Amino acid sequence: MSEDLPDGVERRAFDGTDRLATRGEPVYGEPTDGEWRAWNPNRSKLGAMLELGMDTGLEGGETVLYLGAASGTTVSHVADFAGPTYAVEFAARPTRDLLEAAESRPRLFPLLKDARKPETYAHVVESDVDVLIQDVATRGQARVALENRRFLADDGRLLLAVKARSEDVTREPTAVFEDVREELEEGYEIVETERLETYHADHLGIIAQPR
């Protein structure tokens, strides 16, 4: 397991268990230790990628575009250690929770938008973001990543969690993952992939760079 963690992310003991943690106000009932809060990889694909030792390239302080922010479980951790963090979420109900998470995080900018339509938030999100993090439950996940590539710096990085069952519930996840990888290569060079089964069934973590 890699311990090359971003600045602002540490391993700390919570109830005798060694876990990833960030500094910030709690969001989803996670255990806390003073100003530190545990990062639950069973509720966070990015947390799972870090726990599995994937080379995310995160260092801390990056500008981030996060697609599929939901109620803020993961993106709140990201905003604890990153720079400006643009959080795109399509559904109104979780966005209310996301707005609450952002109240104590001045670097977190919630956007009630559809990640499949990046033109609707292009006027808000700065160009040349360092990291594009994607965790969306929709068909066409590779296409979403390709459409949002416009925001990513040439030396930026895509951290993608592919949900096989959102693409096609009838097909084997391995076949779905292969199709997503193939389409993704239209605009990205894939650096690393790993199944997230330890924490999330039928998910693949992909790290890629723009071509």
**Binding site feature residues for S-adenosyl-L-methionine:** 73-74, 89-90, 114-115, 135-138
- Give the neighbor-by-neighbor strand order of the sheet with 17-23: 9-14, 17-23, 36-38, 32-33
Strand partners, 44: none
Helix axes 92-102, 73-81, angle to 10 degrees: 30
- Feature table: binding site: 73-74, 89-90, 114-115, 135-138
Nearest to 162 by CA among 145, 187, 150, 185: 145
What is the token pair recorded at 6? Answer: 């971003």
- Give the neighbor-by-neighbor strand order of the sheet with 108-112: 108-112, 85-89, 64-67, 129-134, 152-163, 203-210, 188-195
